[in-house]
A and B are shown apart, each in its own frame.
Chain A
């Protein structure tokens, strides 16, 4: 359809720009000042005509792949007690030694006589500030628990007898470090069979449903959960003290309901992270590298955008350099693609401007590129944002391309 124009006469902008071109041979210079457009008398006979259209049926094949980034690769542990997301954290700490070196040359050794106290330290990455009384309950897990332990399997260890302590997250802490000296008798001793390894399950409790994110071992800016043991040497060296620190050697979180590996729609993001590839069939109009001034990929969500409450993330559509399905090579950034910001809970149509990708396809280089793009959430490791959109078989809700383009300009001759 043709673009509607605002009623009323157009405004004529008077000359402003000045172009200066040096003449050859250094004989002089030339100066052109842009003339006013006194239309129609003194304007070009042809005008720039803009048109807008929506191309449907552009996706000939699509697929969703899940598992690009697992829960254990996220830079946070999601602890949640919401109906839509129930999750607990699983942490195995690095082994604590049973002795330490002392003396000037550090060549003498003393064994732990007793543990005076144990400090539990946790970094909060994100919390729901509207929910109060947040605390994290830590339960003792077998030191060598199975890293593929499920949410259901973990329930068996959430017994009072295995409770280490609870760590309060004050309302004043939106993000940062919280710590606590845990109850005596819970982490003071480590069975010899565990070879110094302590494992914990973390569960969140609060005055209402909430999700708490704490730093994981994948987080490069914040320390993961750690435990400090304040120890005294064995007699007669019981005057010696030492602090042992153990950070997470493995951490992850498990959910009551893990996302399906494949769903009705095309998914992107989530945990484990999903990506969807869309293979397109476009006519020459869409890949006209000159005429297209805006190209928007329109996606219809199959449900509200997922993620932690209030979480904002970017959904990107990146061009595919080589189509190997799940392991396709992508353009390194959205210079050949587009991106849109989404917030958990959004349910409106998703629009991503991909004119840059179409222009790449419109060049001679583009002839060797597959006409495919990948939907993915970026960055994938810092959030739980997830979106599911209708695929090519969804009829009117299928992905479509809205094009705004300039019809070929008629210069005229002479």
Chain B
């Protein structure tokens, strides 16, 4: 047991080294507000559009799901994304690869499971280049501005789940929001008589949160799950001396899973985040006011598919969500279709899951089409 625990810890530690430096989506929309809300989902949950996230132990959303682990486990996920952004005549193709989630869990006794996980919370990585002509000292000079932000806010969670009964799991998560962004700006001139200008500032973020969750099996075919989370204000302190305290939202998510056939189920989840609480603080920081947002996911999974004698879970899903930070007054929405499958090895001791999430975000005339491929690994030594 101890050796398995050490192995799982090693896997998680290896993932930690990368995940801490790997912000989430590098969407161009991350430039507004606090950034783009991340989706730290396991590849399994991502394959169902997030509908199974409330019932997925490797997704750090509902701490009660940690009780599903019967042995020590470590997991990590990678996400490779491609975007095609367009806004009238402007457009670009973007891509990035990141590691948005990893974690480790281990049962302690028969009813209690403890876990540590880290996942992206806010992505603030973006880069923008603009070029313009200007008259300096009587001459037309072309300058190019390169503004960048790299980093984001990571959600570190200590989670515990307890099996009150065979059909009821409850959990609690203590969250620490941590991270930093490195903002830089550089202007270069086409005229060699002018030297480039550059400046940068590093902003550190910190905050706390608590989440509670529960999962109840109502019948052989039906289960419910819900989670609620509250957060303290997010403290932002920059190296140039500026600081801000931003109220963070309360988050409520509830879901239902219906499994009329053993090994196959359909799930739906609905979430609400009170990002409107941040509006005043953002306005004070000369940002646009945020709004509270809804999210909805519907997905299905079947573990009854076999390929070459091996069990191959397959998943599909659809999701829609609102994003809290408007773009020049235009509300930002996101919708996507998802799918995926899994491969199980060593009698379930290891599994590899693949999920694909493809959709678009729109805010007024600006549209971003995206495809993200999630690859998740779960090891139960």
Contacts and interface: CB of A to CB of B under 8 A. Distances in A.
B205 A17 contact: no
Interface size grouping (class) on chain B: 35 or more
Interface string A19-36: 101011101111111111
B18 interface: yes
A10 B130 contact: yes
Given A27-B99, A33-B93, A414 B234 contact: yes
A242 interface: no
B85 A23 contact: no
Contacts of A290: 197-199
B90 A36 contact: yes
B193 A353 contact: yes
B96 A30 contact: yes
A42 B137 contact: no
A6 interface: yes
A406 B128 contact: no
B132 A10 contact: yes
A15 B185 contact: no
Given A42-B366, A411-B238, A36 B187 contact: no
Interface in A47-86: 47-48, 50, 52
A35 B131 contact: no
A10 B285 contact: no
B129 A16 contact: yes
Contact of A411 (B129, B197, B201, B328): B201
A409 interface: yes
A204 B122 CA distance: 83
B32 interface: yes
Contacts of B286: 45, 412
B120 to A, nearest CB: 13
Contact of B85 (A35, A40, A413): A35
A17 to B, nearest CB: 7
B93 A27 contact: no
Nearest to B181: A414
A402 B138 CA distance: 13
A38 B187 contact: no
Interface stretch (B20-28, B65-73, B221-229): B20-28
Interface in B130-148: 130-137, 140, 143-148
A36 B92 contact: yes
Interface size grouping (class) on chain A: 35 or more
Given A48-B145, A293-B197, A294-B193, A35 B127 contact: yes
Interface in B1-57: 14-15, 17-18, 20-22, 26, 28-29, 31-32, 34
Interface string B315-330: 0000000000001101
Contact of B130 (A4, A13, A293, A409): A13
Contacts of B99: 23, 27-28
Interface in B262-290: 285-287
A41 B15 CA distance: 35
Contacts of A14: 90-92, 129
Interface in B323-349: 327-328, 330
A379 interface: no
Nearest to B282: A414
B190 interface: no
A196 interface: no
A3 B136 contact: yes
Contact of A27 (B18, B147, B236): B18
A30 B135 CA distance: 38
A12 B135 contact: no
Contacts of B90: 12, 14, 36-38
Contacts of A42: 28-29, 31-32, 87, 128, 327, 366
Secondary structure of the B side of the interface?
A: strand
A291 interface: yes
A357 B144 CA distance: 25
Nearest to A37: B130
B189 A293 contact: yes
Interface string A189-205: 00000000000000000
A52 B137 contact: yes
A39 interface: yes
Given A14-B91, A31-B97, A414 B129 contact: no
A199 B244 CA distance: 85
Nearest to B244: A413
Interface in B86-104: 87-88, 90-99
Contacts of B150: 32
A37 B128 contact: yes
B260 interface: no
Contacts of B328: 40-41
B125 interface: yes
A11 interface: yes
A404 interface: yes
Interface in B74-123: 78, 85, 87-88, 90-99
A355 B28 contact: no
A48 B131 contact: no
A83 B15 CA distance: 85
A14 B128 CA distance: 9
Contacts of B287: 45, 412, 414
Given A15-B92, A36-B85, A28 B78 contact: yes
Contacts of B195: 292-294, 355
Contact of A30 (B93, B97, B205, B246): B97
B92 A35 contact: yes
Given A43-B31, A47-B145, 6 more contacts: A3-B134, A19-B127, A35-B128, A40-B328, A293-B187, A414-B236
26 contacts: A10-B133, A13-B144, A15-B93, A21-B21, A23-B21, A25-B17, A27-B18, A30-B98, A35-B28, A35-B126, A36-B85, A36-B90, A36-B129, A37-B130, A39-B130, A41-B366, A42-B366, A48-B185, A48-B197, A50-B136, A293-B194, A411-B242, A412-B287, A413-B238, A414-B34, A414-B205
- Which 6 residue pairs across A and B have the least CB separation, nearest first? A25-B17, A37-B130, A10-B132, A13-B131, A414-B236, A27-B18
